[in-house]
Structure 1
Amino acid sequence: MSVVDGHFSSTPTKLALWDLREASLSAFRADEISSLVEAGARHLERRGAGAKTAVVTAGEWDEALLRVYEARALAALGEVRFRVFNDADRAREWLCDPA
């Protein structure tokens, strides 16, 4: 959560791409998903309307875990759009799409 807080505290960008393809989320606990949602919520106002976050992952397990976060973030944050991808080019396309 400190990485999320650190990034958005100093750089409250509307568009964010987190590349986790080299990371392993296997030690990630379910209760940490709520902490990530809370970290995102703390920076919602600073990021502004229309903010989007794309996360790129390589493994099926990591993608499934992040889809849980995706659902919780959507429910809790509403305004910030969050999507999980397994392809960086698709993630960039989605971020750049004004829709």
Structure 2
Amino acid sequence: MKLPDECCNLGDIRCEIDRLDSEIIKLLGHRLAYVLAAAQFKKSEEDIPAPERVKAMLADRRVWAREAGLSEDFIENLFEQITSWYIATQIEHWQKTRGQVKGASHG
């Protein structure tokens, strides 16, 4: 790992950006694991979107963006996209896992 001011050329910069992007993707995967685990605590599919939680979460992300010197609007938009996809994925997971449980009880 090189700090930005330690990079000697564009190749070094690109290598570090690729390394960071790889870490971000791995972290998104870890986050997804928690999102899917949360499905077990949802009583119904309608509980999954949790709009009040999303609203509070996005407000927190705006604060964190400001503290990090990043655009609050960009980070909010990014997390809206992330959250939207995770909600859809959690709904799909909830339907599959609850469907298996229901199907097993009829068998």
TM-score between both structures, scaled by the size of structure 1: 0.28
> Which of the pair is proportionally richer in strand?
1
Larger Rg: 2
Q: Which has the higher contact order (CA 8 A, sep 6+)?
A: 1
> Which of the pair is proportionally richer in helix?
2
